[in-house]
Amino acid sequence: MNRFRGFVIKEFFHIWRDPRTLLILVGIPVAQIMIFGFVISNDIKDLHIAVYDQSQDEVSREITNKIISSGYFILDQSIDHPSQIEESFKKGIVREVIVFGQDFGENLERLGVADLQIIADASDANTANLITNYTQAIINDYLKKLNATHQIPLKIETQVRMLFNEEMKGVYMFVPGTMALILMLISTMMTSISIAREKEFGTMEVLLVSPLKPVQIIIGKVAPYVALAFLDAVLILLMGVYVFKMPVLGSSTLLLLTALLYILMALSLGILISTIVKTQQVAMFISLIGLLLPTMLLSGFIFPIENMPLILQWVANILPFKYFIIMIKDIMLKGVGVAYIWKEGLVLLGFTLLFIALSVKKFKLRLE
Amino acid sequence: MIQKQNIIIVKNLVKKFGIFVANDHLNFEVREGEIFGFLGANGAGKTTAMRIICGLSLPTSGEIKVAGFDIYKEREKIKRNIGYMSQKFSLYPNLTIRENINFFGGIYGLSRTEIKTRTTNLLEKLQFTHAANKLIREIPLGWMQKLAFSIAILHKPKIAFLDEPTGGVDPITRRQFWEMIYEAAEQGITIFVTTHYMDEAEYCDRVSIMVDGRIEALDSPAKLKEKYAAESMNDVFLKLARIQLHESV
Amino acid sequence: METQNQIAVKVGQLSRSYGKVKALDLLSFQIVKGELFGFIGPDGAGKTTLFRIIASLLLPDVGSVKVGDFDTVKDFKEIRKITGYMPGRFSLYHDLTVEENLNFYASIFGTSLEENYELIKDIYSAIEPFKKRRAGKLSGGMKQKLALSCALIHKPEILILDEPTTGVDAVSRVEFWDMLKHLKTMGITILVSTPYMDEASLCDRVALMQKGKILTIDKPESITANFKKEIRAVRSDNIYQLIIDLREYRHTESVHPFGQDVHFIEKGGISTTATELTDYLHQKGHHHIHIQNINAGIEDCFMDLMKEE
């Protein structure tokens, strides 16, 4: 245990003393989240909306007024036929249509519940998401005030529909995407580089002739990176939630466990790379060209996998990144539990075991 | 003896890096056609001084003339009149022998026909003709060093600077290398060698020994050995360095 | 008496190739416990390969290597406990301080600096004032001392030092050999490799190596004493011309520059008197001719053996 501690301490020294490592650990995740986050606009002001009010009663008008007076929205037109909804979107000015059901006020008064539909133009998925969130918040606020005077709480059932992009591809993709990227960078690239560095400086020779077992050497080398990568995962999630108001609908524990599984997969890949390469330069090259690019391009992070040529889809399927992104997205945005993502989890686990098995086979007790 | 001209003149060369004085008022001359050994321990300031004399960096102060040119104003002319070889970097490992010769001939401004004839001569002299298309990384270290030296003097410079040229080769190859240096000196090329291998010092006409940024001794190996009652240049060096060590403690 | 000497390292019929290149070609030798044994030869002689095999870092193609009673292939775990290995490039962590390097190496061998301080005291004391300095900022001599301290930290019985004096200045080299002598008095068997011929005389026994083969193996003074050819050191005012002229002289076997001298060997022993040789050189236009019969040095022997191969 003492040996292991000595090893980990030494590894932390390496990390603290190399400004480049620190930059990769902290600078890149922050910068990337910020860049992706701000490129996707989140500034809502004077967005044009339309209202299709089928009941035209006091309550529906009050809600409409409240929405418009919020300052975020401008009423572009009132609609009186369903066919006009899509038409108004297609002109490109209207971004949201609010549809009040028939007898809206009456239903609310009598039954305690009324239907309301929010339809958004989701071709700009991020904005669409924000608009609908704002609208819902305004409605909830109205409801709260109303409920203050009511004994039985009233309910408005809002149904959100995203037009033109029903699955909301692209929404908040940058958080899972960045996670996939950064964790890969730290876990795979940094471990493979740090092991290759030992080879390059000749220190690996001394480690090998020491009584340390290869497993001890490897665990000693990667343990600090597990910790750091995990911290980075938390950092990225916190930024996503607090800076960019990204929802986490599912269990945070499950989310972190998924991140951990992915980190382990990436680490074992890093170890595998380091057993093959001899220099830091080659380790870096393989990690960047061989991993970073596919992570960015073939994970569904930037380009939807469904739109790729078939051959690239196959490639994407045999790379681990896609599965991680699916898992993270489903947990965060759909709020699903283990039951829905265990298959992807198994795939990641499979990759991890495969990489470890190959590394063990490749890792030499001796030099070549 | 004919008094030969001084081809390198160094007066009061000082180089400071912040408060650290790498070269502390160096004064020496190198005579045309001689083999001049520039010795010192690691970190004594040899490399710094040599870089200045080659025109690669500027001194803090001092007056330096190389091949008749001023180090401040005529660095380009100096560079055209010198050849340079170092053990650390000399040839491109992924180019063949011939490609290396062509490349370096080219950067020194030799014409194509000149490069061609000189390449043929050089390959013949080194008996490398059969291996001209071998990659540098495939040939033995000894060959590499001989080739690197030949390339450094391919453009017939007035001075050849050799930075720790012969490490790690067998004693026979090492001697062949020194014979090449003698030959070049015979043709009038001045040889300026930095090294911390003291046995290489024995081959030089004159040597200077640097300790802590200063030149502590400068003479022929024989005279230095006499002066310090030493059997070899190694002993001379040890005596000089030890005195310094005691002073500094 | 000889049988009482315990064998520290026993190498039999050892060969190792890298692709087509034979790095080691059927080596056999024994090293006695407590010996300071030198492997001397240029780059490419096979020194590093040999040391890696002895340190159980490399597998031999053919042959057997035993360190103490342990086989380097089967019992490598045992060997790793009793050997201290210092690779050619001083395997230190440049971003760690002197102290951190030592502590790290101590920890992976399950020991501590305090526990074995006595053993490394003499060596470490020279660098202890700089213990907070990063290893990358040390001079060559200090790096060498630190690397030696690291190799000694677990009290090895056998110390394997691969070119510890390469690239280190003359003063540090002398100090280093003094340290080795001191370690020898503590009963540690030391295997050291070097490209410097002049370091041979500092070893108990040496193996002269060239291209994967051992040219000879003996006490350094025996190697030079066994050199049967007669050598003359010749000097004149033009060394380059002297080499050329001596090569053209009848009976010449070899002509090698040695600093300001030229070592001259005639075929079948000396057949010309000094006067005859002087006359010949005068004729060729040499002045200040000086001829002296000398004893062979290790380098003379080495070159002679190289030619026989």
Cβ-defined contact of C44 to B182 (cutoff 8 Å) = no
pLDDT at C3: 45
Domains assigned to chain A? 47-163 (3.40.1710.10), 171-362 (no CATH)
- Please give the average per-residue pLDDT across A329-340, as a whole number: 81
H-type helices in A170-320, by residue range?
174-184, 191-201, 203-209, 214-242, 252-276, 280-285, 293-298, 310-318
Q: State the Cα–Cα distance between residues A297 and A313, nearest whole angstrom.
A: 11
Q: Which two tokens stand for residue A39?
A: 């490129």
Residue-wise pLDDT tens digits, B135-191: 988 888 888 889 999 999 998 999 999 988 877 788 899 899 999 999 999 999 999
Question: Residue B10 sits in which domain range?
Answer: 6-248
Asked whether residue A172 carries a pLDDT value surpassing 90, the answer given is no
Residue B119 lies in a domain: yes
A265 Cα distance to chain centroid:
18
Residues of B in contact with C260 (CB under 8 A): 202-203, 221-222
The pLDDT assigned to A155 comes to 79
> Is B156 part of a structural domain of the chain?
yes
Tell me, rounded to whole angstroms, the distance of Cα A26 from its chain centroid: 18
- Residue B206: CB atoms within 10 A of its CB come to 19
Supply the Cα-derived Rg of chain A in whole angstroms. Answer: 26
Round the average pLDDT of chain C to a whole number and report it.
Answer: 90
Residue C89 contacts A, CB cutoff 8 Å? yes
Chains A and B: 3 or more CB pairs within 8 Å of each other:
no
For tokens 């309910």, the residue is A155
Report yes or no: A270 and A186 within 8 Å, Cβ to Cβ. Answer: no
* Residue A86: CB atoms within 10 Å: 12
Average the pLDDT over A15-43 and give the result: 75
* CA dist., res. C240 & res. B129, Å (int): 25
Please check whether residue A115 is in contact with residue A157, taking contact to mean a CB–CB distance below 8 angstroms.
yes
CATH of the domain at B40: 3.40.50.300
* C95–A contact, CB cutoff 8 A: yes
By C-alpha distance, the chain C residue nearest A19 is C95
Is B162 within a domain? Answer: yes
Closest approach of C48 to chain B, Cα-based (Å): 13
With CA atoms as reference, report the closest residue to A344 among A289, A303, A299.
A299
B196 in any annotated domain? yes
- Contact assignment for C108 to A203 by CB distance below 8 Å: no
Instruction: Judge whether B1 lies within some domain.
Output: no
Which of B97, B94, B149, B165 is CA-nearest to residue B128? B97
Which are the contacts of B146, defined by CB distance < 8 A and separation ≥ 6?
A: B126, B173, B176, B177, B180
The pLDDT tens digits of the residues spanning A133-166 come to 888 888 888 888 878 777 777 778 777 777 665 5
Nearest to C183 by CA among C37, C7, C2: C37
Beta carbons within 10 angstroms of residue A143's beta carbon: 17
CA–CA separation, A197 and A7 (whole Å): 15
Question: How many Å apart are CA C126 and CA C176, to the nearest integer?
Answer: 11
CA proximity to C35, closest of C6, C72, C13, C3: C6
- Helical spans, DSSP H, in C229-273: 239-248
Identify the residue with better confidence: A160 or C51: C51
By Cβ distance, the residue of C168, C197, C240 closest to B182 is C240
pLDDT at A41 over 70: no
The C residues from 159 to 198 touching A (CB cutoff 8 Å) are none
Q: Is C91 on the interface with A (CB under 8 A)?
A: yes
CB contact under 8 A, B199 and C44: no
- Side by side, the strands of the sheet bearing C213-218 are C83-86, C158-161, C189-194, C36-40, C205-210, C213-218
Torsion of CA C299, C300, C306, C309, to 10 degrees: -140
Measure in Å the smallest separation between the Cα of C259 and chain B Cα atoms: 4
| pLDDT-based confidence at residue A43 (cuts at 50, 70, 90) | low
**Out of A5, A17, A206, closest to residue C85 by CB:** A206
> Parallel, antiparallel, or unpaired for β C36-40 and C189-194?
parallel
Q: Take residue B158 and report the two structure tokens written for it.
A: 């007035």
In C144-299 the beta strands, taken as DSSP E runs, fall at 158-161, 189-194, 205-210, 213-218, 231-235, 252-258, 261-266, 290-294
Q: What is the largest CA-CA distance in chain B?
A: 60
Contact C280, C274 (CB under 8 A): no
Comparing A63-77, A347-361, C102-116, the range with the smallest average pLDDT is A63-77
The nearest CA of chain C is from the CA of A299 a distance in Å of: 37
Q: Do C139 and B42 touch (CB under 8 A)?
A: yes
Does C103 sit within 8 Å of A14, measured CB to CB?
no
Give the per-residue pLDDT at B228: 92
Q: Which two tokens stand for residue B93?
A: 């490992």
Find chains touching chain A: ≥3 CB pairs under 8 Å: C
Residue B94 burial class via C-beta count within 10 angstroms: exposed 0-12, middle 13-18, buried 19 and up:
exposed
The predicted structure's pLDDT at residue B248:
43
Q: Which of A209, A218, A368 to mutate to test the interface with C (most CBs of C within 10 A)?
A: A209
C60/chain A closest Cα distance in angstroms: 11
Flag if C107 and A2 touch (Cβ within 8 Å).
Answer: yes
DSSP state of B135: B
Determine contact, residues C63/C178, Cβ cutoff 8 Å.
no
Give the C-alpha separation, C2 to C149, whole Å. 32
Count Cβ atoms within 10 A of the Cβ of residue A16 and give its class: 0-12 exposed, 13-18 middle, 19 or more buried.
Answer: exposed
Cβ <8 Å between A211 and C77:
yes
Residues in chain B closer than 8 A to C166 (CB atoms):
167-168
- Report the percentage of chain C scoring pLDDT > 90: 65
**Would the CB atoms of C76 and A365 count as touching at under 8 Å?**
yes
Chain B environment of C168 (Cβ under 8 Å): 42
**A133 with A150: CB under 8 angstroms?**
no
Identify the band that residue C156 occupies on the pLDDT scale cut at 50, 70 and 90: very high
How many whole angstroms separate alpha carbon C181 and alpha carbon C202?
9
Cβ pairs B/C, distance under 8 A = 83
Chain B nearest-CA residue for C45: B170
Q: In the structure, do chain B and chain C come into contact, i.e. share 3 or more CB pairs under 8 Å?
A: yes
Place of tokens 């470890």: A356
- Residue of C138, C143, C240 to mutate, testing the B interface (most B Cβ within 10 Å of its Cβ): C240
Nearest of C57, C110, C60 to residue C86 by alpha carbon? C57
Query: From CA C215, how far away is CA A196, in angstroms rounded?
Result: 37
Residue B219 lies in a domain: yes
CB contact under 8 A, B221 and C306: no
Q: Which residue of A has its CA nearest to C134?
A: A17
Q: How, if at all, do strands A47-53 and A73-78 pair?
A: parallel
Q: What is the rounded CA–CA span in Å between residue A57 and residue C72?
A: 93
Residues C240-252 have a mean pLDDT of: 91
Q: What pLDDT was estimated at residue C223?
A: 95
C108 contacts A6? CB cut-off 8 A: yes
* CA–CA separation, A120 and C177 (whole Å): 82
Please report, rounded to a whole number, the percentage of residues in chain A having pLDDT higher than 90: 8
Q: How many domains does chain B have?
A: 1
Q: Is residue B212 part of a domain?
A: yes
Q: What is the ipTM of this complex?
A: 0.85
Cβ contact, residue pair A202, C87, below 8 Å: yes
- From chain A, the residues in CB contact with C106 under 8 A are 6
Q: What is the mean pLDDT of chain A?
A: 82
Q: What is the pLDDT of residue A361?
A: 80
Q: Which residues of chain B register pLDDT less than 50?
A: 1, 246-249
Interatomic CA distance for residues A39 and A34, integer angstroms: 8
Widest pairwise Cα distance in chain A = 85
- Tens-place pLDDT, residues A262-294: 999 999 999 898 888 888 888 888 888 888 778
- Burial of residue C34, with CB atoms counted within 10 A of its CB: 0-12 exposed, 13-18 middle, 19 or more buried: middle
| Residue that wins the pLDDT comparison between C171 and C294 | C294
Q: Using a CB-CB distance cutoff of 8 angstroms, which residues of chain A are in contact with residue C107?
A: 2-3, 5-7
Query: C275's torsion region: left (phi>0), alpha (psi -120 to 50) or beta?
Result: alpha
Q: Nearest chain C Cα to A368, which residue?
A: C58
- Tell me whether residues C169 and B167 touch, CB distance under 8 A: no
Check CB contact under 8 Å for A10 and C104. yes
